[in-house]
Chains A and B, each alone.
Chain A
Amino acid sequence: EVQLVESGGGLVQPGGSLRLSCAASGFTFSSHGMHWVRQAPGKGLEYVSGINRDGVSTFYASSVKGRFTISRDNSKNTVYLQMGSLIPEDTAVYYCARDADWACDYWGQGTLVTVSS
């Protein structure tokens, strides 16, 4: 059974940093690209970042480019999202999702990030 479990969310002050993790199981992790998608409270989905199977190619939404960094450790079956220079608008539930030919076929349960003083 495919499982994606996010962790690392919490309350952080504006300008602060946070690292999210997503532990994968139930499939060959190194065979799939991975994505982060967020959802602000009461709002819609927003694409954040993606990484290909071997971690060589990464991509970012313009709203987070230069502030967030995605990475992966295939030996640990884990994808990360390092978030910096956080602003209140980054407050959201962050989902990690598995790539399946430019769609997300499995999603984690999400982790809440709150940016507030």
Chain B
Amino acid sequence: QSALTQPPSASGSPGQSVTISCTGTSSDVGGYNYVSWYQQHPGKAPKLMIYEVTKRPSGVPDRFSGSKSGNTASLTVSGLQAEDEADYYCSSYAGSKTWVFGGGTKLTVL
């Protein structure tokens, strides 16, 4: 199970939008609508931000949105705020009852 590919870093100024990509294959991202995104602040446990490609858990601001095209999923954070600075990980079901994570993207709010 190879890890999904994410850019190591992304950045934006407060109020701007930033999009983080997550590229897999037809065996994971492209084959299932079970892509999720997690936010992790330093020293903290991950927090679910998006599930099933586009759905937001209750309590997650609507500034966070997800999408998918082919083998690539994306997380867009609109109206960037200082507290959005964190590591973001994508994950996908990969068949055979297992999952794969991306390598993570460090989002910096300038």
> B84 interface residue, CB < 8 Å from A?
no
Q: Please provide the chain A residues from 66 to 109 with a CB less than 8 Å away from any CB of chain B in the complex.
A: 95, 100-109
Interface size on A, residues (CB 8 A): 24
- State which residues 20-67 of A face B: CB under 8 Å: 35, 37, 44-47, 50, 57, 59-62
Q: Judging by beta carbons under 8 Å apart, are A60 and B57 in contact?
A: no
A47 and B45 form a contact (CB under 8 A): no
A36, chain B: closest CB distance, angstroms: 11
Residues of A within 8 A of B (CB): 35, 37, 44-47, 50, 57, 59-62, 95, 100-110
- The 30 sampled A-B contact pairs (Cβ below 8 Å) are A44-B3, A44-B101, A44-B103, A45-B38, A45-B40, A45-B91, A45-B101, A47-B98, A50-B97, A50-B99, A57-B97, A59-B96, A59-B98, A60-B98, A61-B98, A62-B1, A100-B48, A101-B34, A101-B51, A102-B32, A102-B34, A102-B51, A102-B52, A103-B34, A103-B52, A104-B36, A105-B51, A107-B47, A108-B45, A110-B45
Chain B residues close to A by CB (< 8 Å): 1, 3, 32, 34, 36, 38, 40, 45-48, 51-52, 57, 89, 91, 93, 96-104
